[in-house]
Structure 1
Amino acid sequence: MSQQKLNVKTSQLILKDAVSTWAIKKKIEDLLVFESFDLPTMAQLERTRNVVFFGDFLASYAYFQENNIADKTIYVLCQRAKELLQAVSPKVKNIIEVINRYELFPVEVTEKSLPSFTHDQFDFVYAGRISRSKNMMGVLNLVKEMQKINPKVGLKLIGEFDPFLNISSEIKPYQYSIKKEVIDFIENNEWSKRPVIIQDPRSSSWLEQLDSSDIMLSLSSYWMEDFSVSLAQAQQRGFPLVVSDIGGHSDLEGENLIKIPYHLIGQNFFTYDAEMEQAQATCCLNYLLSGERGKFGNRNVERIDLPKFEQILELNAFDFFKSSEGRSVFLNYEKAWKASGASTKKILFLKTKEQNHWSSLVKISDQIQKFWIEQQTVDTELIVIDVDQPLDKSRLFKYLPECEYIIAQALAENTINVLRLIRHKFKSTAPIIAYPHELPSIFYASLKLRGLEDFFQEQDVFVVHCQADYEMTKQSFEQVNVIKVSAGFMTTNSRKQVESYKPRDLYYIGRISEQKNIHTLLWAISLIKDELLTRGSKLHLYGHHDHFGSPNFGISGDAYLDYLGDLVSLLEIEDLVIFHGHKAIEHWAEHIAKKKGLGVFPGIHVDENFGYAPFDLLKQGVPSVLTRWGGYKDLIDTFPHNTFPVRVIQTNLGPSVNPSELSIAILKGLSLDSKPNNEEVFYKITRGTWGESFRGSLKKALTGESRLKFTPLASELMSDLKYSPHASLKARGWMLNGHIFTDYSDQRFVVASEVYGALKESECTQEQSLIAPWVKKDGDEFVIVDPLKGEYRLSDTAQLEAYGFSFSNYLLKS
């Protein structure tokens, strides 16, 4: 017999012995313990009128139904099990009883007080099977997050590792072993007190491992969690408990007990998502630190529609390891098993991957969901609806009366269809909080193509990620509610000391795209190639070629990567530039910090509303050169001592960057020689501060039912656009390709580029001018083939200056 089987069997034996002792005291004769994995014979059942169901009570009762067994008194170990059985079968209404857990394991000692989670020294203790069904990653994440507030908190894991594999099909193969998963998590994270694993199959000796200040912790999400012997044993000795409100945990009582509402813990048995589990842990931590924890008590199971047992034909309907049908049926029961029972306000989160075509959008989308997970309270529950999957309209309709607001993770086709259903067909008046992502820089023009030009109301809120998008939203709508928050607000708030950091090489990470202005970067490199060769510095370019071009202007981008290769040869900088292509490096910022790199991001992309790559570098303490443009401007303001800004100049063809200014910024960055005790570089926006500000802004914003109106400028831009509900979002067939601005001289784009940061000034003189390498002389004219802005013919150098193809050479003055 394995240690794991010994541990489970011993725990069950202790519980069986306690039940047998209780039955003798109660004078209940012939009590038969019924377990689906050790089924009694029909002869045994016929000899008794009293049976006890343990955690597999659902399958046990299905066996009763299948064999037409009747006239028995059924005992279960928790109130939640009784209510669930009564919900699924009226036949058990008068024949089911709950055994009081404190009659099985009476508490006769003085309870130990709960400590201060923020100041006292103590260890959390988990005792039992170390299994994903017991939510071990939730336990680890909670302790990790609490250590950021109180480094004196520790964790003991006492028990054997579950031999069963994680059943989720969404996780990677190496994550199947819970033992590897737990150990890797401990090894790969920083701890003020490292978690301790104590493996002991004996079910009584584990109590000897406890110190007087310890707290029992169980965040179990197990669908058979009807009692928990270890918690009963610990409570007999007076230890405080922090538990999930699920199954048998709901019957726990005591002054030194905290029950965490299950919706704050979340479903984590079928799926694995490290980011979301961290968010759920933070949600639990917020609850433990709040004044709300005393408001939550025992509540009845929420009455939801459950399939009756008469409809279940096979016992393995509950075997969700083998049966897809069983898994579907089980999920219906699970809602009741884990329901807190109280009517909570709902926040509907419309989740989608439709716009996850860039890695930065994937990260931002995850950050958005993490934030809203953390906003849950005892009275507010986040309901995630995946709009990319078949929609359960009845379930959606059920939530709307209790819906506080609706979160649109992105304004893409599937999300929009659900929003129409909610507001037009279901007549919901709940405010919508929408994340428009790239829409502000084009005056929200795509809303008309989606038929939403008169959809939004004054009570609705747009959430944007930079000051430029905030101002562009104000330019697009009259009396609009818009809130700005940096897209990186949810990342770990770490403090990075800048220590003896002298950069050597330059690094660009991102799409290889005309919009990122890499051709100007190469031009800038050519101006200082002698200095770079002397320093031994090179430019490393990482990323894939996206072929996107400039779709807002109808300019294709077929061969930009080839163009850049030719430009490197033309400028004779082959020894300074290395194209690496796309590389799957998990922690870019740490990788570049170790190499003492200098980030370089010269982009003038019209939708550059944040900049996740430079944000990751700066947060890690890596200095970076940035154009003062869009979301980059916010990063420069956030990290003023570790950025080297470059102006963006407004020309007759929109924004341009002077290559000599870019060259000077690069040399300044490479000359950085940080010394110990220099100013710490860290991201200043904390989650708590931002959360309070955001909620305050929402409270002020969520008023008014009038239709949101576009400004005259935005209306003019959309005057020629037509509703196209199924227009493509792909690069070459993008629905707005060439329909937004006529070209880079379009005055509406001039407004947008000035909001994004382009400055109206020119300091070029013919004596000191730099003419772009993509300008050629053809007789009396200059022929320009700009990879970003297109093809032009100009007559003189004054026009070259005005259109941004000739710049002052500030290197001559530096």
Structure 2
Amino acid sequence: MIKTLVLTSSKNYRWMSMQEIIPFITESWLRLNSDEHIVEVVDVDKDNIFKRMKEIISFDNIVCTCFTVEISRTIATFRKVLGMEFKTFFYVHGQATIGLWPLLKWAGDDYLTSNDYLVVSCERDIDCLNLAFKGAKVMLHPFLLGPQYKIDKSQKNSNFIYIGRVSEQKNLHSIILAIKLIEKQMREHHSKFTIIGGTDDLGTPVTGTLPIKYLEYLKNLVSDLSLNDLIEFRGHIDREQFNTILSDQNAIFISSSLHSDENFGVAPYQYLKAGGRGILSDWGGYAQFKDFFEGIDYLDVYQSSHGHFSDISQIARVMEKRLSNTSTIKELDHSLNSYLATISDAANKEYQKDFDIVCATDFAKKILRDREDFYKNTKSDDRNHGAQIFTCFKDQGLHQLTKAYGAKYFKKNNSSSDLIVLPMVELKDHHILITDPHRGSFEISRMAGVEKAYRTFREEAIILTDKEVEYLFGLGYVISFS
């Protein structure tokens, strides 16, 4: 008989998606419960696990549904202090793109062995983990949460909808700028873009980029670009309102997210599963949806010396195509059972006493060292205190992870005469000032070259040299659109 202990916690419930994901993981393991495989669940927030040591010492597997300091320390104590022998199934969630530094810090460099499994929700997390713990056993368990609503496919329209956190990393400003490029066509199709969700006021923690009152920024941008009739902000809604709104319409879900730990995407998955259509960035967990649905429009994510970005002209073209294209998404055959079968096989494998330690790579160790330095050198009341691991968006460590997550190098093609300069660009004395809600503010030195007037989103002229335009084009701050 195999015995599995599932450790769970509600400490990560401040993220709405985790309120569904963690119970989903727990229920997935409970589905394996049988006469031959006993599965028990312990909530570490409520139960003193050490009072049950006589019982727990006989378990073959311990599942960590999420990371908390308490869970990691408990597992490390079981193994290092008490000498217990068991396999661990550790659900990584957003840690793949931060080098697993919390696990490394609180469980230790010698915690992970060849008996253990890191469990991820998308294949690109696997690519990221190879940078941090090369050789670790990794298992795929997507969060295939069924929706509580069904979209009426007969109610086809050309509206767009976003559901999720209103955060700089979600890159909603790029969608708004794209709408400015196709505002005429959207008005002709009576199309609107609705944003549903509350703010998180986090900025970009991994780079220490502070929040900028993003919702206010977006509303000002909509007003400045005269798009108030095309874009609506609905704010946070509860689950009942959410189900009602989505079942009553068949808008196109759009997300150009650049979030550093977009490891799945429950909201878009449920929307597509319910029969909706979608436009998603080819990024992290979103890319996994190619295995589940056919007909999603994907938006490229590009890498540059100043971090990753979306091509706003591509967003505009894809949205414009969808205005008149009412084709539906085809759901491909995918079942949770196939993933559970793989998990069951791993849980039933015999514990190997002759195991190897899976050590952290130099890449992961550097992330932890840098994190500790940032932690010491930032104020305790700093919004990103303890979360920063990269110097800025130019950090090569970040570039390695974003490449693994799907970012590709931009093909420069600024020969077109239809070039537009983004509102983030401003001339200041002897430099160019970039004020980007996602990548932060930074300066670029002026470059000699042939000067020319280029148009902006506000139909104003800005004088730049050809060398400056070429450089800004490669960063995504000058686009080509006609």
Instruction: Deviation per CA, 1:379-430: give whole Å up to 9, x if none.
Output: 32222111112514231x1223420200001121121232133223332111
CA distance in 2, matches of 1:783, 1:638: 42
> Deviation at 1:446?
2.3
Does residue 645 (structure 1) correspond to residue 294 (structure 2)? The answer is no
1:375 and 2:47 matched: no
Range with greater deviation from structure 2 (762-771 or 752-761): 762-771
TM-score, with normalisation over the residues of structure 1?
Answer: 0.53
Q: Which residue of 2 aligns with 1:717?
A: 367
Matched residue count: 455
1:748 equivalent in alignment to 2:397: yes
2:271 to 589, 606, 617: 617
Matched, 1:447 2:103: yes
Q: SS in structure 2 opposite 1:709?
A: coil
In the other structure, the counterpart of 2:113 is: 457
For 2:325, the equivalent position in structure 1 comes to: 672
1:491 maps to which of 146, 153, 156: 146
Q: Percent identity?
A: 25
Give 2:461's aligned residue.
none
1:737 aligns with 2:387: yes
8 Å Cα contact 1:763/1:808 also seen in 2: no
Q: What residue identity is the alignment partner of 1:481? A: K
Greater fraction of residues in strand:
2
Q: Distance in 1 between matches of 2:38 and 2:384?
A: 36
Distance 1:601 1:547, change over 3 A: same
Task: Give the corresponding residue for 1:547.
Answer: 201
Q: Match for residue 469 of structure 2?
A: 797
- Taking a change above 3 Å as real, the CA distance of residues 497 and 592 of structure 1, as seen in their structure-2 partners, is closer
Q: Report whether the alignment pairs 1:471 with 2:127.
A: yes
More displaced stretch, 796-805 vs 584-593? 584-593
Q: Which runs of 5+ in 1 are unaligned?
A: 1-343
TM-score, normalised to structure 2, is: 0.87
- Aligned partner of 1:764 in structure 2 is 413
Point out the more displaced range, 349-358 or 384-393: 384-393
Give the 3-state SS of the residue equivalent to 1:347 in structure 2: strand
Change (3 A) 1:438 1:364: same
Aligned partner (choices 338, 354, 358) of residue 11 of structure 2: 354
Task: State whether residues 589 and 617 of structure 1, in contact with CA within 8 Å, keep that contact through their aligned partners in structure 2.
Answer: no
Q: Tell me the secondary structure at the aligned position of residue 250 of structure 2.
A: coil
CA RMSD of aligned residues (A): 2.7
Whether the aligned pair in 2 keeps the contact of 1:776 and 1:784 (CA below 8 Å) is yes
8 Å contact kept, 2:410–2:474: no
Partner Cα separation in structure 1 for residue 132 and residue 290 of structure 2: 26
SS at match of 1:707: coil
Q: Is the 8 Å Cα contact of residues 120 and 141 (structure 2) preserved in structure 1?
A: yes
Whole-Å separation in 2 of the counterparts to 1:420 and 1:519:
43
Structure-2 change in CA distance of 1:590 and 1:693 (3 Å): farther
1:557-576 equivalence runs, <5 A: 557-576=211-230
2:477 corresponds to which letter in structure 1? Answer: F
1:348 to 1:696, Cα distance in 2 relative to 1, 3 A: closer
| Distance in 2 separating the partners of 1:764 and 1:510 | 33
Paired AA for residue 42 in structure 2: I
Letter in 1 for 2:60: E
Q: Once the 2 structures are TM-superposed, how far is the Cα of residue 492 of structure 1 from its aligned partner?
A: 7.7
Deviates more, 1:763-772 or 1:547-556: 763-772
2:404 matched to 1:404? no
Q: How does 1:218-367 map to 2 (within 5 A)?
A: 345-367=2-24
Paired with 2:19 and 2:75, the residues of 1 have a C-alpha distance of 21
3-state SS of 1:755 partner: helix
User: Which residue identity lines up with residue 425 of structure 1 in the other structure?
Assistant: V
- Bigger Cα Rg: 1
SS at match of 1:462: strand
The structure whose RCO (Cα within 8 Å, separation 6+) is larger is: 2
The reply to whether residue 428 of structure 1 matches residue 428 of structure 2 is: no
Match for 2:391: what amino acid? T
Q: For the structure 1 residues 646 and 721, does the alpha-carbon distance in structure 2 shift closer, same or farther, using more than 3 Å as the test?
A: closer
Amino acid at match of 1:482: V
- Is the alpha carbon distance of 1:615 and 1:492 closer, same or farther for their aligned partners in structure 2, counting shifts above 3 Å? closer
Q: Relative to 1, partners in 2 of residues 1:804 and 1:673: Cα closer, same or farther, differing over 3 Å?
A: closer
With over 3 angstroms needed to count, the CA separation of the structure-2 counterparts of 1:697 and 1:405, relative to structure 1, is closer
Q: Evaluate the alpha carbon distance shift between residue 542 and residue 484 of structure 1 in structure 2; reply closer, same or farther with a 3 A threshold.
A: same
Partner-residue secondary structure (3-state), 2:158: coil
User: 2:258 aligns to what SS in structure 1?
Assistant: coil
- Identify unmatched segments of 5+ residues in structure 2: 447-467
Equivalent position amino acid for 1:706 in 2: D
